[in-house]
Amino acid sequence: MRPHPRPSLPGPDPLLRPAVLVGAAIGLLLLALASAQPALAQGYQDTPFKPDAEPDAPKRVKPGRKWQEEAVRLPAWPRDGDLVEVQLDGPAQTLTHHIDTRSLATGRDGVVRFTLVSESRSGTRNLSYQGLRCTPRGRWKTYAYGMNGKFEPTAVADQWREIRSQRTEPLHYDLWRHYLCVHRTFAARPKRDQVRMLRSGRVPEVENTGFITN
């Protein structure tokens, strides 16, 4: 009697062969990484070059102090001899603006305050006492209006207004951008520089070059 031939076992599916190879490669890679960690740690003990330690995280971070506006005293009535015209860039305006240099001052809160005299072509004057903040976008407000030789506070406390653009607010934009504030540091100029620039009607070109002055 002839022996029956043994049935042959099916070979691996050709479609599964790449997946098996990929899985084996990933396993070998993970094994190599795991075995390399102790070697790396041991290697740091034999060399002067060691990784920097992680900086300690602060245990307690205190929030910055909230800005607070100081009390405001209204100024004396301006004298014509103390008025300096504010020269604005762009087309001619219907009003001419002057700043009273005697009232011009920067408070401890960083606000530049001044009396503003706006005069029409017919000679009519409007007086106001204003403040300007040298913030990244600039803010201003009105504290009082001048009437009958004295200043009267606004009936409703005026809120700080953001300077939107030179086109819509050329006066306050130029005061903030050129005359009263140092644009790169968002701080008020010394008064002598403010007055000098108002009188000259221009800003030194070095401040517009991107270099920090001494």
Average pLDDT over residues 193-209: 74
pLDDT at 114: 98
Comparing 55 with 203, the larger pLDDT belongs to: 55
Which tokens go with 169?
A: 């607010």
pLDDT at 206: 44
pLDDT at 210: 44
- Rounded to 5 degrees, what angle do the CA atoms 109, 115, 121 make? 145
Tens digits of residue pLDDT in 53-65:
666 656 666 677 8
> Out of 57-66, 80-89, 139-148, which region has the weakest mean confidence (pLDDT)?
57-66
pLDDT at 146: 96
> Out of 5-19, 53-67, 184-198, which region has the weakest mean confidence (pLDDT)?
5-19
When pLDDT is cut at 50, 70 and 90, the band that residue 208 belongs to is very low
pLDDT at 214: 35
Contact assessment for residue 133 and residue 175, using Cβ atoms and an 8 Å cutoff: no
Average pLDDT over residues 65-74: 91
pTM above 0.85, yes or no: no
Tell me how crowded residue 110 is: count the other CB atoms within 10 A of its CB.
17
pLDDT at 115: 98
pLDDT at 89: 81
Which tokens go with 102?
A: 């005697």
> Out of 53-62, 117-126, 139-148, 161-170, which region has the weakest mean confidence (pLDDT)?
53-62
Tens digits of residue pLDDT in 23-34:
666 766 666 666
Average pLDDT over residues 34-44: 55
**Does pLDDT of 11 surpass 70?**
no
pLDDT at 9: 53
Contact assessment for residue 198 and residue 179, using Cβ atoms and an 8 Å cutoff: yes
Backbone angles phi, psi at 198, to 5 degrees: -65, -40
Question: How much of the chain exceeds pLDDT 70, in percent?
Answer: 64
When pLDDT is cut at 50, 70 and 90, the band that residue 36 belongs to is low
- Rounded to 5 degrees, what angle do the CA atoms 194, 76, 170 make? 40
Half-sphere exposure of 68 (CA within 13 A, CB side): 5
Reduced to 3 states, what is the DSSP secondary structure of residue 23?
helix
